[in-house]
Amino acid sequence: MATPEFVTSLRAKIGHDPLWLPGVTAVTFDDAGRVLLCRRADSGRWALITGILDPGEEPAPGALRELEEETGVVAEVEHMIHAGSHGPITFPNGDVCRFLNLAFRCRPVSGQARVNDDESLEVAWFAVDALPELSDRHRMLIDLAVRADGVPAFTR
């Protein structure tokens, strides 16, 4: 599902006005050290696996849910790597959002990487030294995940 029902309900009331949402990012590395990316259906750009938490959902399980829903990969969280805010982001339909995003380094435990919903055009593993074009934010999160030591980065 591209837009959670609770967001659709809010949008019916506020239109395209800015909305503050809780988000998660899964930075997932396989045993070969490759990172899992998807090519987004809405923008056509390669990206890490991201999503919006459902009301009351815990962040780490939410990141794992998004990862499995979008890629078919079942994983476990190794570390929280980053807490931060980003946006505003204007989506193709005109909706404006800002996100409080929690990012996690993950390790796959089962499943085969594939397009598993309508949010992605492609899903693939990439060597860290051979990444496609990514946003600066996603490159930063990959760099943090490579160096992850269990202490999340955040603005102090």
How much is the pLDDT for 103? Answer: 98
Q: How far is CA 146 from CA 17, 29, 36, 105, 115, in A?
A: 36, 9, 13, 8, 24
What the chain holds in terms of domains, given with CATH numbers, is: 5-146 (3.90.79.10)
pLDDT at 119 over 60: yes
Across the chain, mean pLDDT equals 95
Phi, psi of 114 (to 5 degrees): -160, 165
Q: What is the mean pLDDT of residues 33-48?
A: 95
How far apart CA 70 and CA 76 sit, in angstroms, is: 15
Q: In the structure encoding, which two tokens stand for residue 40, read together?
A: 């987004």
State the pLDDT confidence band at 42, using cuts at 50, 70 and 90.
confident
Nearest of 130, 155, 133 to residue 34 by alpha carbon:
130
Q: How many Cβ atoms are within 10 Å of 134's Cβ, its own excluded? A: 18
- The per-residue pLDDT for range 60-111, each reduced to its tens digit, is 999 999 999 999 999 999 999 999 999 999 988 899 999 999 999 999 999 9
pLDDT reported for residue 60 = 98
Q: How many other CB atoms are found less than 10 A from the CB of residue 54?
A: 14
pTM: 0.93
